[in-house]
Chain A
Amino acid sequence: MLTACSLLLSLLWLVSFGACPAGAADNAATHPIYATYQFDTSGKTIHFGVQPLAAPEGLIAAVMQRDPILRDRLRVLGLTLKFYPFQNGADANYFMRRGDIHIAMASGSSTLVGAAVSDISILARAKDGASSVVARKKINSLKDLKGKRVAYSTGSTAHIDLLMSLSALNLNAHEVILVPMEASQFIAALTNGQIDAFSAWEPTPSIARAESPILTTVLKVLNSGYLYANRSLLEHHPAAVDQILASYVRAIRWLWLHDKNLTRGAEWWIQEANAFLQKQIVVNPEVIKKIAFYEVLRFGDPVLPASDFAEHGYLHKRLQLLQAHGMIDPAVSWVKIRESLNSRALKKILDSPNKFRLNIFAYETR
């Protein structure tokens, strides 16, 4: 059974996303929330695209927004940093391609799309998570989904993961009844029998599992995330990028340092989500904390995993899949993606913890 909080969460998401399907970057230009964004064109403001509804990316961004050290260091450089919330990485990419967003955090698929269509530098790991297919009990495997209705958000990483997994297990996607649906409707639709399963990214699967014992996970697919910046930002403001990276590391270390920090971070994430949705949502912070710990904090500093960028590694396979599904131009080479990898920037920060005040924390509550 669903609790009242999850139902409320679903309702709020339904209201906020009703007019704009998630993952549809084509709608980014006309999204009512984005329409209110005003981007500073003076060159003195760095625009950071974040996803307040995704965990753990949204949680780290929430901590960074409350980092006075970062703000002070940038002020010395004559710059300010402004955060712009987006509902997914595809939308952030849309504005980055337009030149309005300079730095962003998104999933592996969105990072690949960004690297394919824009000149970006991938600076740090954002998460090592997974998308999941959550189903009613008695459905134990993808094969059990044959003839069942599976909801998905069109174009999302979870959608791609589902198609890839069906193909890998020699199952025909046509044997599954795919139901396009807003992610915010997944849990309610699954509970009331409208669908038999859904494919989604965190925190929806965790919230669903925590709130409803009748649900089970039949599939999990590795879904990493990254912090990446427009290459022109590195060329024109390298010191500012250093400070942003330092703030990013500092946030992770602070969250790792103590459970109460993590709890505070989870609360900030909820605040940011409320602000984005312009509604009050109720969600157990422990769910968010668990996701953040498992997908980010347990690995320590967010160094880029070399294995992800290896030939035939995770990102290479993901690129081939996106190209096969027409989501990335087949002419884009793996070399171009590899050239986007920039591990030196973070290494420089990690090698000088005192200079970049990686272990000094002065977070404020807004």
Chain B
Amino acid sequence: MNRAQRMSYARNVRGSLRMRMVLIFGLGSVVFFLAIRIVSFTGIPWLNFEGERDTFIHSAKQSLHSVADREEAAVQQWFQERLGNGRLAVAYPTFRKNAVSLSRIVQRLSGEPLSRVQRLLAEDGRYHHILGRLHLIERTFNHYDRIDMVDLVSGIRSVSSDETVAGTIAPYAKELQGGRTDEWGEKIFFSSEGSRAYMYLAFAINMEGEQSVAALVYRIDPATFLLQLFHESALLGVSGEIIMIDMQRKLLTPLKYNLPDGSAAQPLSYTLETKQAEIASLGIEALFSSVDYRGVPVIAAVRHVRVMPDFWLGLIVKRDEHEIYEPLRQSLFITGAVTGFGLVLLLALVAYVSGAITRSLESLSATARKIASGDLRARSPIAGKDEIAVLAGTFNKMADRIQQTHENLEMLVAARTEELAAANQLLRVEMQERLKTEDEIRRSEERFRLAMDAASDGLWDWDVSAGTVYYSPGYFRMLGYEPEGFDGIVDTWLKLLHPDDRAAAVEVIESCLQNKTEGFKVEFRMLAKDGTWRWILGRGRAVTRDADERATKMIGTHTDITERKHIENQLVQAQKMEAVGRLAGGVAHDFNNMLAIIFIALELIRMRLPMDNPAHEHLDSIEKAATRSRDIARQLLAFSRKQLILPRPCDLNVIIHELEKSLARLIGEDIEIRFFPGQELGSILIDPAQADQVLVNLAVNARDAMPHGGKLTIATANIIIDEAYCEKHPEARPGRHVRLSVSDEGVGMDKQTLAHIFEPFFTTKEVGKGTGLGLAMIYGIVKQNDGFVNVYSEVGSGTSFNLYFPRIDSAVHLPETPETLDVETGRGRILLVEDDESLCRVTKSIIEILGYTVETASSPAEALGLFEHECPDFALLLTDVVMPGMSGRDLAERIGEKCPGIKVIFMSGYTSSAIMHRGVLEKDMNFIQKPFSVKELAAKIGEVMRA
């Protein structure tokens, strides 16, 4: 038999019926007997059935209790007997009387030589009476090795059963002192004589009504007498021990064993420091486990033996735990040994019997295993006629049937296998096609999902009948919501609409739902996650409708047009400002024409009136009003960028420095000006007067915004504007700029106010305190100089104006116009062209006063008529710029063609593109701003005529 066969055989044997019988009957019997033994040993606690162990332990503990009780009773009895002996002796009156007499004698003889004292006592009959009693007691009870009669005053023994010590001071005398007998009538104490310790029983002796003067003292040797009490009990075994201690735990009896250090404990000197002694000293009587003075585990019964009210003893009865439990261990060992031996025998017996029974069954089993392994021809031998033989015969018949069925089954299986293979092939093909289709669907869905995810617009799919909406990822990104926190209910979408836009949006959608429109396109605002309103362009259409033509499913998009809306608003604002500018310019032009008449007329009247004429005061008033009107007209011109300017490269830092003191005076002491000049600040092209106007107006505004004082901060800086910035600020131009920032800590402005601040005549100031033209003028100046302006303001925090001017690289210096103080007169013929009749008349008058000859024309056509045939001798053409039919410039060019030498001065209420670009005069062009004074006109005419 090879190894594999041996292992297989072993497995078969382990699972065989024989082995199971051995295990069941053999081990079962062992377990059964062991269980009985364990139960008999430990008992069944919950049934209150006590086992051998409990009985034994209980018995052992009861033995200790019994011994302790017996010894306690013995000690009590012994002491009561001893106390009775003493009480009996002192109860006799004669004995007491003689004892008291002898005490008085020894008190008297105190200090005498001992021999004399002993001789005198021996001569006294009372001494012999007491001595006889003492000897009688000694002999009768045989427990005392000496009895003394002691005088309590001197401590001298008047009588002693040991006559040699009579007349001497008792070595234990101090134990009898302490208030003489005041505190005691009977006393038990321990003391030493020489090297030996004794126990003493003392009985006070006194006469009726008198104090005690003597004491009868019994001396007892513990080694001799107390040991008689403690008989070696069989209940205590070999290790058992009885120990007696006094009230201070002093040992009274010798110990059975030496101490751990090998020494022997001395009674009356050794203090027992064990748990048993501690318990006894506490007055507790109990049985408990602990370790004894050797450190050995013991079970001890402790007794507190009160012999007298003032004297007790501790009694310790103990036995080693090892010895107590030894019988139990032996019992367990024997049980184990018997069980083991019985197990072997039982197993052998069961194996023999089961072998005889199972041999035939094993043969049948082997045949069955062969058939099971495929050998269908195997058959079991049939031996005998018992039940197993019948079983074997039946088994063989069954094997025949199995063999036959098996052969038929194989053929059937082959046919079915072929059919299954064909069906399987067909199924495999179908599955491959199906997998391919599913893969294509999956890819398509993936592409759709990616497209939806990538789209910046929000896509939605509204199931109208269910009231649910699907939103694409782009939708959530657009508004900042998380898909998890956004339910797909259409009402949620409606709630996010701006209340002002909701009705309009619902209306167009409802129209589409009802098939009034095919689709819809509507703009509305929606609340984004960050709390801002986003402008949305919503587009959608119905994809399915029900029988009533009502949409059941709609799809569409949401596009965020917030930025576009913002830019549109800015554009509208810019256009509005441009329109207002044009209007202001026109107004200013007409205004200036009229003012020009007024100013010139005023000067003409003044010239003709005597200096002392009272009408001069009225003329002054008219001039003031006219001057004020001219200022307004100039501001309007500035706003409409029609102001005549002389730009030149300027350093804003220099201008601000020069103006700083003036500004300080202007805004008052309550406001602190802080200036932060930019480093290496670039130059800008601006008329310095305009720069002054800007700074003054911003400072005045800041002052008015800070009625209670504050800080006005002016800062300059170089800055580059990029394309991205320009996309959001249509007025901005990319490139290098110089920024002028003017900030205050004033009341600030709300958004509504901010939207109008640059409009002319818009003011938040009280009536009469502002014209509403300051910021409009600043706006015009900035725009006139190709700049732009941003304003940031917070209500309660302040306002900051940021003015951006294009930075230039090179400085171009323009000649300054010299100012003449006196009215300049001259000679020559001048053609005055002015469509305003009044203005034409007064202008003609003033020129004539200046010494010139004047020809007038009320229109360009009329003027050209004068040059139709010849070139008249006009030295100068003084013409308005804006006139019906033809501009002043065209007129000048036409006349110049015919009379090239003629000089030209343009006059206008505002700068016209006809003669200048963005307010800047073209080269070699002369211009005078309406309204002008006589002096200004005289200076200009003189300047041109001299040129």
Contacts and interface: CB of A to CB of B under 8 A. Distances in A.
Contacts of B287: 140-141, 218
Contacts of A165: 282, 284, 286
A347 B58 contact: no
Contacts of B310: 303, 305-308
Nearest to A108: B283
Contacts of A354: 208-209
Contacts of A140: 58, 61-62, 65, 287
A347 B80 contact: no
A19 to B, nearest CB: 34
A125 interface: yes
Contacts of B285: 130, 219-221
Given A140-B58, A140-B62, A219 B80 contact: no
Contact of B286 (A128, A142, A298, A353): A142
A129 to B, nearest CB: 10
Given A222-B283, A303-B185, A306-B183, A353 B208 contact: yes
Contacts of B306: 128, 222
Contact residues of A: prevailing secondary structure: mixed
A298 B80 contact: yes
A304 B312 CA distance: 14
A322 to B, nearest CB: 14
Interface residues of B, number: 34
A301 B306 CA distance: 15
Contact of B309 (A128, A137, A164, A351): A128
**Which 10 A-B pairs give the minimum distances between C-beta atoms?**
A222-B283, A305-B309, A140-B61, A220-B285, A305-B310, A141-B287, A299-B309, A219-B286, A307-B310, A221-B284
B289 interface: yes
Interface of A: 125, 128, 130, 137-138, 140-143, 164-165, 168-169, 218-222, 298-301, 303-308, 314, 317, 343, 347, 351-354
B301 to A, nearest CB: 9
B182 to A, nearest CB: 6
Contact of A343 (B183, B208, B247): B183
26 contacts: A128-B306, A128-B309, A130-B283, A137-B58, A138-B58, A140-B62, A140-B287, A141-B289, A142-B286, A143-B289, A165-B286, A168-B278, A218-B286, A219-B284, A220-B284, A221-B282, A221-B284, A222-B283, A298-B80, A300-B185, A305-B308, A305-B310, A306-B310, A307-B247, A317-B282, A347-B182
A308 B287 CA distance: 24
A141 B286 contact: yes
Contacts of B211: 351
Given A138-B50, A164-B282, A143 B288 contact: yes
A295 to B, nearest CB: 9
Contacts of A343: 183
B311 interface: yes
Nearest to B304: A222
Nearest to B285: A220
B279 interface: yes
Given A352-B209, A354-B208, A222 B311 contact: no
Contacts of B185: 300-301, 303
B54 interface: yes
B648 to A, nearest CB: 103
A307 B311 CA distance: 8
A163 to B, nearest CB: 12
Contact of A168 (B54, B80, B282): B282
Nearest to A313: B247
A125 B284 contact: no
A298 B73 CA distance: 14
Nearest to B178: A306
Interface string B593-619: 000000000000000000000000000
A60 B309 CA distance: 18
Contacts of A353: 208-209
Given A140-B58, A305-B310, 14 more contacts: A141-B286, A164-B282, A169-B288, A220-B304, A221-B282, A221-B283, A298-B80, A303-B184, A303-B185, A306-B310, A307-B310, A308-B309, A351-B209, A352-B209
Nearest to A344: B182
Interface in B305-329: 306, 308-312
A307 to B, nearest CB: 5
